[in-house]
Copies of this chain bind each other. A is one copy, B any other.
Amino acid sequence: MITNSKVAYHDHDHARCENAAMIQARNVCRARGARLTPSREAVLQLIWQNHKPIGAYALIEKLTELNGKRVLPPTVYRAIDFLLSLGLIHRIASLNSFIGCPFPGSAHSDLFLVCRACGSAAECSAEGINSAISATAARAGFTAESQSVEILGLCPQCKLQATESTQ
């Protein structure tokens, strides 16, 4: 299983996550002949400000603040589309929001563990789930092409706090 759950829900040096993400993004873009323009980079950086999925309009606000000049929806949605197409971010459909991919470039099908208390989400690429999904699809005669697997619940930190507060 590949996952960033060890960092996503816990205190950590997040600057390292951001740096790694930006470096990987540049590598992916170079490899694919795509241009990581300043506005795309700014959107990616904002998405990577933490491990919580963020909505397009929140990005618009933050970007407006950052630029000191009004940013309009198409600007952000274009950046989002670009980043999605390269697999640098993912869309969390159940939240209408977006999160950085911690392991872009490597083929993987995704599962997200979204904490309903703190809002943080970890991504997991688990062979067990992918094979279970394939098997289920196959039994239905269905050919799977893409998936959206989003689990809502409590992360270890928030669960701990919930337990403590009820003692």
Contact = CB atoms under 8 A, between A and B. Distances in A.
A153 B156 CA distance: 34
A106 interface: no
A150 B151 contact: no
A113 B148 CA distance: 11
B141 A9 contact: yes
B149 A147 contact: yes
Q: Is the interface of A mostly helix, strand, loop or mixed?
A: mixed
Interface residues of A, number: 40
Nearest to A125: B136
Interface in A80-136: 93-94, 111, 113, 115-116, 122, 124, 126, 128-129, 131-133, 135-136
A142 B155 contact: yes
A72 interface: no
A116 B3 CA distance: 29
Contacts of A131: 132
Question: Which of A94, A116, A143, A146 has the largest number of chain B CB atoms within 10 A?
Answer: A143
A135 to B, nearest CB: 6
Q: Which 5 A-B pairs have the closest CB atoms?
A: A141-B156, A5-B140, A93-B94, A145-B153, A132-B132
Interface of A: 1, 3, 5, 9, 93-94, 111, 113, 115-116, 122, 124, 126, 128-129, 131-133, 135-137, 139-156, 159
